[in-house]
Structure 1
Amino acid sequence: MSDHSPVHNLPLAHKAFHDRILGFIPRERVFLGPFHALALGDDASFYRLVPKIVVKVRDAREVAWLLRAASDTKVALTFRTAGTSLSGQALTDSVLVYLAGNFRGLRIHPGAGSVSIEPGVIGAHANVALAPHGRKIGPDPASISACMIGGIAANNSSGMCCGTAENSYKTVESAKLVFIDGDSLDTADPVSRARFAVTHAALLAELAAIRAEILADAALAERIRRKFKIKNTTGYSINAFVDFEDPFDILLHLIIGSEGTLAFIAEVTYRTVVEHPFKASSLMIYPSIADACRATMALKNGGVSAVELMDRASLRSVEDKPGMPAYLKELGVEAAAILVEVRGADKAELLARIEGALSRVAGIEPVFPLLFMDKKDDYEKLWNIRRGLFTSVGGARKPGSAVIIEDVVFPIERLAEGTVELQHLMARHGFAEGIIFGHALEGNLHFVFCPDFADAESVAHYRDLIDEVTQMVVGRYDGSLKGEHGTGRNMAPFVEMEWGRTAYALMRRLKAAFDPDNLLNPGVILTDDPQVHMKNLKSLPQVNPLIDPCIECGYCESVCPSRNVTTTPRQRITLQRHMARVAAEGDKAEYDAFHKDYAYFGNQTCAADGLCATVCPVGVDTGVFTKDYRRRESTARGRKIGCLVADHYGLVTSLARQGLWLSHAVHRLLGTRAMTAMTHTLRRISGGVVPFWTPYAPKAAPRIRLRDTVRGMGRQVVYFPSCTTRSMGPAALDPDQRGLFEATMSVLAKAGFDVIFPEGMKELCCGLTLESKGMHDDAARKSAELEAALRKVSGNGAIPILCDASPCLYTMRCKMEPGLTLHEPVEFIHDYCLEHLDVTPLAETVALHVSCSSVKMGLSAKFEVLARACAREVVVPRGIHCCGFAGDRGFFYPELNAAALADLRPQLPASTTSGYCNSRTCEIGLSYHAGVPYQSIVYLVDRASCGKA
């Protein structure tokens, strides 16, 4: 996507930068204009800055070119990966260098003792790659499923378990870096180091001089050592000057936590840490914060992996959530809890550590007897309490307000005192609803509250609270203003307050040595503006209750199929909020311009799969919003068409079937090459009206006979063949040329089921096709018709019902009233059929794709179990979430499908013979982009099974 507004609107320096980079960056990866700048420039913080230029880069060479151009034109730039950072360090009003979607290299070194990772790799994906070796990376931020290695290293992120012993600073081994002059350094390569020592002698000399000054000042050196014994990400990692002597080691560790202000991290190599296979957790509830903190101090250095503190307000915020223990509601007003985790290499070590933890806190009386749980389902329920804290506040906040998660550190011996004082401060400044929780072993507290930055009084309360908190943490406790979230913009004015004039002056020299013109992420960590933390605050105007809870955290982006081609759920919501804002201000011209661009970038290329809701902390389903948006945007003509389709559904499916028959006939006549050329030409001439054709396009479905089958074995099922099954048959290249109906009937016959069909099948539809196009009323009517037919034929739910398409079945579950027992193929075969089948795994390598609807129904595990029962080797490609075909979107917006499946083919072994899914339209796109045919998993089960004698 690109938005090439007139370049002359740019300032002269930015115009010169823009013109220069077009010599080496393709135009389609350079973005101008307010629409794309706003969308791509947003991050998880509570600030809003809109870049003038956004550049998507693919490798370190391009970054080097950009840095040289920036250095020559004196244009500032900021690097950005996932944009999940909270302190404003991934924002700019100059040039944003966007890495997400690229820089995804990962190399595990022999023995898995270390791993080299590029900045665009999601942290959790790195751990998935390391898991077979029993290892993981040290940093474990709460956002690890969404944040990327570039941000983890640049912010020195830590988390619940890694503390100060296994964060990026402590586990970094080497890095590949690019500096403001475009020069590079591989700190692990002696040749690179030797060359750098010549070309950047002045930089290394300045680092040596700063180190000498620090060591000569015994008080300052001791202060640095002491302050980094607790978590601290305020300012630069100047502990590097006292921890290391080699200038390259100093440089490497200064880069960690520098938030993109010193150099670009092109690759980082971490020493990995052990991922213990045995774990147990205990929720220890105490009468007061003081007791909980005493227990924490008793557990310090006691072999526990994590201690998470939760105040009474935290526990109260989740006590009404589903799955929460009932006893939370019975706690006293002063109660607090610590969630303790222990780990071991084996059961014996785990038990020893449990006993050790219990003995250490034996003298502190809890509210309830202490109990460790070592079964995953049990201890995950306890951790869901901790994970649900942020969600509970974010979801319950006043519409339009922001969610602030601040991050401070107290010396652990004063944690209780600091926690109580922090509670009083929040209440005094109007944020009594705020909660406090954190990584108690490190004295690291997070406090969450919800100011409304559109309200001047609320802004004033926020300012006063931050002023008092900084004075308290530094003045009364000599703690850290930031423990793991990074300094960013919101603590930049207070760095000197925490560190003092001498250390702050050295940080200034450090920045000048690396970046003399202050072009790398200016305003972050160091600032000349004492009010920068109160400027460019992000307001969140109300748009629609479906998306108003969004906190723009970006967790949704990693699973969105359009993330690398148009926009993501977060970006769609950001754009919608801007349109609501300018509409309220009466700026019709800007609203119309955004509305026009949104049609394609926000609406038409949204798969509306709802996977975003599965990872969203506050449960926002942007897919549901998109369907509602389509309803509101629908025209009278569109609504009339929807009504006609609903009224004559049998005719519509019949016409679709005839069209597929004709398409296949022409294909047979012309051949694949001529058919491809003809259809692509017609598509181009028609402006996209002609569907995108591939050799995996389906033929017409074989005619089916809906005749009830009675086998008399006492097992019954109502079978509702979906409209895709009734209209779409196999592709010409598919190995099994039977229709899905025939394959399903074969499996049901082998399992001995009586099969019953609803009446009036030709006209029945779940309504999904209509709803996805915004035709909600007609969709609801068809859903009601189907429900009535299913209730009648199933005895109001007495007989289980099978639908052979996962998306349709999911829609039925969402729309129909309780009482019907509804199943899609994987679930029905797994739960009802397997016990009646003899299954012999085929000697094949097969690929598996779990459709979005199956994921949302929690069927991923059953899907894999079923596949592994039927094939010797099963490949589940990583990072492939929604395939992007999205019903018929793949026919009309094939770029969405292509982007979603860009990583599919490289992950499939050459031995892969076929792939399996359970959504016919998904299978079309999967086959095309994988280069192997995908069909319903029913075919695999049918081939691998026979009925029991």
Structure 2
Amino acid sequence: MSLPAAFLLAVERLIPRERRFDDPLSTLAFGTDASFYRLIPKLVVRVESEAEVAELLSLAHAERVPVTFRAAGTSLSGQAISDSVLIVLGDAWNGRDIRDDGARIRLQSGVIGAQANAWLAPYGRKIGPDPASINAAKIGGIVANNSSGMCCGTAQNTYHTLAGMRLLLADGTLLDTEDRASVTAFRARHGALLAQLAALGRQTRADEALAQRIRHKYRLKNTTGLSLNALVDYEEPLDILTHLMVGSEGTLGFISAVTYDTVPEHPHKATALVVFPDVETCCQAVPVLKRQPVSAVELLDRRSLRSVQAMQGMPAWVRELSAGACALLIESRAATADDLDAQLAAIRASLAAFPVEKQVDFSQDPAVYNQLWRIRKDTFPAVGAVRETGTTVIIEDVTFPVERLADGVNRLIELFERHRYDEAIIFGHALEGNLHFVFTQGFDSPEQVRRYQAFMDDVAQLVAVEFGGSLKAEHGTGRNMAPFVELEWGHDAYQLMWTLKRLLDPRGILNPDVVLSEDPQIHLKNLKPLPAADPIVDKCIECGFCEPVCPSNGLTLTPRQRIVMWRDLQARTRRGEDTGALHEAYRYQGLETCAATGLCAQRCPVGINTGELVRKLRGQDAHHAGAADWFAGHFATTLRGARLTLRAADSARRLLGAPRLARTSAALRRLSGNRLPQWSPAMPQATQPLRLQPLPATDARPRVVYLAACVSRAMGPAAGDAERMPLMEKTRALLEKGGYQVVVPAAGDALCCGQPFASKGYADQAAAKRQELVDALLEASRGGLDPIYCDTSPCTLRLLQEGLDPRLDLYDPVRFIRTHLLERLEIVPEDRPVAVHVTCSTQHLGESQALIDLARRCSTQVVVPEGIHCCGFAGDKGFTTPELNAHALRRLRQAVQHCDEGISTSRTCEIGLSQHGGIDYHGLVYLVDRVSRPKVPAFD
């Protein structure tokens, strides 16, 4: 059915066109969350204010239009999708208010969980919930799912650390429990509602059997159904209401903001891995550990250990474990080192009587405990990486009573064998009896769906009925377990949930068929296809972990959405459908606005670099190989042309003035169909090649080969930049200050790492230029005898990623300065605020923290703007697709407004950073040179 005309007209008046999406590409892209379901919304609305949400709810309530709320879309059970109206959070939901030295924090629903913890870190605090998706999941989803995690348990989830809430009911009514005026107004308008909640609470507490069942259920980790514990834990109806909202998955109202009582983040920790000979022994140790000072105990069965045993860096003994082995990963944290030592002694003593097959004793060494945690964290992606193309990875989430944990594990393994899920693994949060099991499933035939149905029926019977456990411990009910809520809870509790739903959402508009559904087959409908698209991305499980670091997120598509769309396009093409319009839309949204820097791969559980797919597809559209050959073969001429263009642009600036030139450039760009580049005041002036005099043979200084990137050889400072010395001259000066003699490769202007060609899809020309450069570097470094300093981190990464000749010793600016120059320089830090931008390539090179640390050696005031992971300039995208750069840096100016200067390690990135930050950005060498002097006199 289509949406009511009156509703659509009202939405058009309320929400600007650029935040309303109803085209086939966008609706499909937003119709995907991390679950194995797909619904295509008829309308997607990106909201930027609470007032917009209130009005939308009022309209939807009046017209009976179903709506679903979407934060990050990392939900695993189908909570964040809709075939009606999907309301997506925009940029403006990132507010926070830290109170009482971090003891409390109020967060808007668009804040990413890890960002909240970063804000709290200086206070030694964190929020209680710690889901595995915390680097992507937003507070709205964390609260709505009552998410927990490895250390959270049941005591530190949102329900138990909630101090206040700001919410909207289904009719758009606002309640802020921390605002006296709001509470007074709500009581006046919704007194009857509050009276009914109070009455339901009294009735539930008076029903001893029901109340006892509710208390028992929440002794376990449990997110199945609505949070009925609110009715037995609280008498005040406002408390009942806010705690009902926790875990309601958007079915009772919209959560605008929450206030948390935070928990300590102890600085001292140690981790051990103990492998027991069998499941029974392993699980018998869990209740013993539950009485000890442990912060996390993770169970891994032999199947899960086997799934990661071949991964790089895994201990060799993992391969040699017995067939029935079962492990516990144990962590303890403390406020002081002495406390931690005492805790570890107590834990060791408690386990002394248990037979152990293998163990890694407690270690406080980050290298050791990070490796141990990697074993646990890599189990889920390990299954995803080996699944057959076309199947999906399903992660289920159940709780057994801890005292029956061993039986539960063994019975689950029996179900895997009965239903032929040979790849299935089990791991989980043992202290709570919370087990995750992961398996792969296809849905492209009725037989496969029936197999899944039979398996889930057996799981539900086993967990909910035989063991009295919970079918959803922390992933939320969704539509996945909605048909089984009554089976788990019983008739009376189930009907109580429906009473609450109809009381708070009388017209049934909020996320229908999620948590509660009258359709017993809802978990078998709208199953998401995962057709083959390209080997580069076929392993994608569409989790959305990649999205927070993508510069085009919110402008066009995210990596997840690019993959979703390409899968759909390939499937449509195979069916013989006309995809011309979709391909044309994808060209801009999927290809032109992708920075292709590969940051998504760092966040992806299976390591997918969506940029590789984009470059491959660009290559298929790269129809000017002849021109690319000419540019590659005449690169020095190309650079001279670039300098000439920059001089012409600067002449135009002098003639017209910067404001008029900017307007003229923008107009010409529009007239050209966005084919002409955009000029800005940050545009660099042309520079000249670095010319060095031949060095005398008697020069005893160590040599360094200086590889100046092509952008450094062409682009000097901008006209308005206070710094007038080009990067090449500044770099040479710093290297010589450090006591080095500087040499450059012969025929320097003809050299290029190939990145400009690779980014445009001309792989052959890129490879040829790269090899030409490698040969020149071998000659200049005397066969690898001398280190090579590359002044731009993207070029360094390009050379290293493609497999550098092992004789070459190549450095980016950060690594060379910290490993070779600091020992030769005396640093006197300046008291000026400096902004640091960590480029994508610096992140890939593993030098992010080193860059920040270097800046802090040079300045007492260092600012690292939060939430900016990639600047979106992406080589020349800042010129050819300036909206990508502008979108990626839309919050930069406010973050750096008090800084005097910004530093980075990429000349092109610095152009966009200067333009959108409102301060001059320079290479790291400018800062280091300004605050340093030689420790010993330089050689003559």
Q: Give the TM-score normalised by structure 1.
A: 0.97
- After TM superposition, give the deviation of residue 661 of structure 1 in Å: 1.0
Name the structure 2 match of 1:614: 602
After superposition, the C-alpha distances for 1:454-488 in whole angstroms (9 at most, x for unaligned) are: 24333222111111000100121000000000000
Change (3 A) 1:190 1:301: farther
In structure 2, relative to structure 1, the CA distance for the partners of 1:717 and 1:370 (3 Å cut) is closer
Matches within 5 A, 1:51-200: 51-200=41-190
| 1:703 to partner: Cα distance | 3.7
Task: Indicate yes or no: 2:285 matched with 1:298.
Answer: no
SS of the residue corresponding to residue 660 of structure 2 reads helix
- Matching residue of 1:669: 655
Equivalent in the alignment of 2:831: 843
Matches within 5 A, 1:330-369: 330-368=320-358
Give the structure 1 partner of residue 666 of structure 2.
680
Aligned to 2:2: 11
Aligned-partner Cα distance in 2 for 1:191–1:203: 18
Aligned partners of 1:91, 1:816: CA distance in 2, in Å?
42
Aligned equivalent of 1:21, options 8, 11, 18: 11
Deviation track 1:363-384 (CA, whole Å, cap 9, x = no partner) reads 1111135611112222111111
Tell me how far apart the structure 1 counterparts of residues 301 and 677 of structure 2 sit (CA, whole Å).
57
For residue 384 of structure 1, what is the amino acid of its counterpart? R
Q: 1:670: how far off?
A: 2.0
Offset, 1:16:
2.4
Residue equivalent to 1:450: 440
Partner of 2:249 in structure 1?
A: 259
Find the partner of 1:943 among 923, 930, 938.
Answer: 930
Work out the CA distance in 2 between the residues paired with 1:100 and 1:708. Answer: 58
Match for residue 882 of structure 1 among 848, 866, 870: 870
Contact preservation (8 Å) 1:80, 1:100: no
> What SS does the corresponding residue of 1:371 show, helix, strand or coil?
strand
- In 2, Cα distance between equivalents of 1:90 and 1:539: 17
1:784–1:816 contact (8 Å) kept in structure 2: no
What CA deviation, in whole Å up to 9, does each residue of 1:773-807 have, x standing for no partner? 00111111111111111122223322211111110
**Aligned with 1:403: secondary structure?**
strand
Residue 791 of structure 1 pairs with residue 745 of structure 2: no
**Is the counterpart of residue 283 in structure 1 residue 273 in structure 2?**
yes
Taking the aligned partners of 1:802 and 1:777, their CA distance within structure 2 comes to 26
Displacement of 1:357: 1.1
**CA deviations over 1:851-881 (Å, ceiling 9, x no partner):** 1001001001211122112222111111111
Structure 1 residue 194: Cα displacement = 2.2
Go from structure 1 to structure 2 and tell me whether the alpha carbon gap of 1:714 and 1:327 turns closer, same or farther (over 3 Å shift). farther
Letter in 1 for 2:2: P
Q: Distance in 1 between matches of 2:723 and 2:778?
A: 33
Which of 897, 900, 903 is the equivalent residue of 1:916?
903
Kindly provide the amino acid, as one letter, of the partner of residue 11 in structure 1.
Answer: S
Are 2:689 and 2:749, in contact at CA under 8 Å, matched by a contact in 1?
A: no
2:505 is the alignment partner of 1:515: yes
Post-superposition shift, 1:714? 4.4
Task: Determine the C-alpha separation between the residues in 2 that align with 1:674 and 1:368.
Answer: 73
Name the residue aligned to 2:32: 42
Where 1:177 maps in the other structure, the secondary structure is: strand
The RMSD of aligned alpha carbons is 1.3
* Partner residue, 1:697: 683
Number of the residue aligned with 1:739: 726
CA contact (8 A) 1:708 1:757 kept: no
Moved more, 108-117 or 367-376: 367-376
Q: Secondary structure at the match of 1:372?
A: strand
Cα distance in 2 between the residues matched to 1:872 and 1:620: 38
d(CA) in 2 for partners of 1:740 and 1:280? 45
Deviation at 1:909, TM superposition (A): 4.8
1:601 to 589, 595, 605: 589
Query: Aligned match of 2:640 in 646, 654, 662?
Result: 654
Report percent identity of matched pairs. Answer: 49
How far the C-alpha of 1:239 sits from its partner, in A, is 0.4
Deviates more, 1:705-714 or 1:271-280: 705-714
In structure 2, distance between residues paired with 1:813 and 1:444: 43
Q: How does 1:569-588 map to 2 (within 5 A)?
A: 569-588=559-578
Kindly state the Cα deviation for residue 12 of structure 1 after the two structures are TM-superposed: 4.8
Q: Does 1:539 align with 2:525?
A: no
Alpha-carbon deviations, 1:30-73, whole Å to 9, x = none? 11121100112211000011000000001111000000110111
CA distance in 2, matches of 1:462, 1:641: 54
Q: Do 1:81 and 1:98's aligned partners in 2 also have CA atoms closer than 8 Å?
A: yes
Equivalent-residue separation in structure 1 for 2:815 and 2:125 (angstroms): 33
Look up the equivalent residue of 1:659 and give its one-letter code: T
Contact 1:409 1:444 in 2 (8 A): yes
How big is the shift at 1:554? 0.2
Q: Is the 8 A contact 1:783 1:815 kept in 2?
A: no
In 1, the alpha carbon distance for the partners of 2:841 and 2:358 equals: 41
Quickly say closer, same or farther: Cα 1:219–1:12, change in 2 above 3 A: closer
Within the candidate set 887, 898, 921, 1:934 is matched to 921
Distance 1:369 1:939, change over 3 A: closer
CA distance in 2, matches of 1:658, 1:867: 35
Q: In the aligned structure 2, how far is the partner of 1:480 from the partner of 1:176? A: 29
How far residue 92 of structure 1 moved from its aligned partner, in angstroms, is: 0.5
- What aligned pairs does 1:210-609 form with structure 2 within 5 A after superposition? 210-368=200-358, 371-588=361-578, 591-609=579-597
Q: Does structure 1 retain, via aligned residues, the 8 Å contact 2:3–2:65?
A: no
Match of 1:864 in 2: 852
Match of 1:4 in 2: none
Shift of residue 532 of structure 1? 0.5
Q: Is the 8 A contact 1:707 1:757 kept in 2?
A: no
Is residue 809 of structure 2 the alignment partner of residue 821 of structure 1? Answer: yes
Contact 2:829–2:931 under 8 Å retained in 1: yes
**Which AA in structure 1 matches 2:53?**
V
* 8 A Cα contact 1:734 1:935, kept in partner: no
Measured in 2, the distance between the counterparts of 1:12 and 1:410 equals 44
The farther-off stretch of 317-326 and 712-721 is: 712-721
- CA shift digits 1:574-600 (9 cap, x unpaired): 000100111111112xx2121010011
C-alpha distance in structure 2 between counterparts of 1:772 and 1:415, whole Å: 53
Q: Distance in 2 between matches of 1:731 and 1:702?
A: 14
Contact 2:897 2:918 in 1 (8 A): no
**Distance across 1 between alignment mates of 2:359 and 2:760:** 55
720, 724, 727: which one aligns with 2:707: 720
Contact 1:783 1:816 in 2 (8 A): no
CA 1:295–1:268 in 2, change beyond 3 Å: closer, same or farther? same
Q: Using the alignment, how far apart are the partners of 1:825 and 1:286 within structure 2?
A: 48
Asked if the contact 1:650/1:762 (under 8 Å) is kept, the reply is yes
Measure how far apart 1:100 and its partner are: 4.4
- Indicate the residue corresponding to 1:3 in structure 2: none
TM-score normalised to the size of structure 2?
0.98
Aligned length: 934
Partners of 1:338 and 1:304 lie apart in 2 by 12
Question: Which structure 2 segments of 5+ residues have no match?
Answer: none
Aligned equivalents of 1:724, 1:597: Cα separation in 2: 32
Distance across 2 between alignment mates of 1:278 and 1:256: 31
Q: Match for 1:630 among 614, 618, 622?
A: 618
C-alpha deviation, 1:253, in angstroms: 0.3
Cα gap change, 1:844 to 1:484, in 2 (>3 Å): same
Shift of 1:754: 2.2
Q: Deviations over 1:548-577 (max 9, x none)?
A: 111000000000000021110000000001
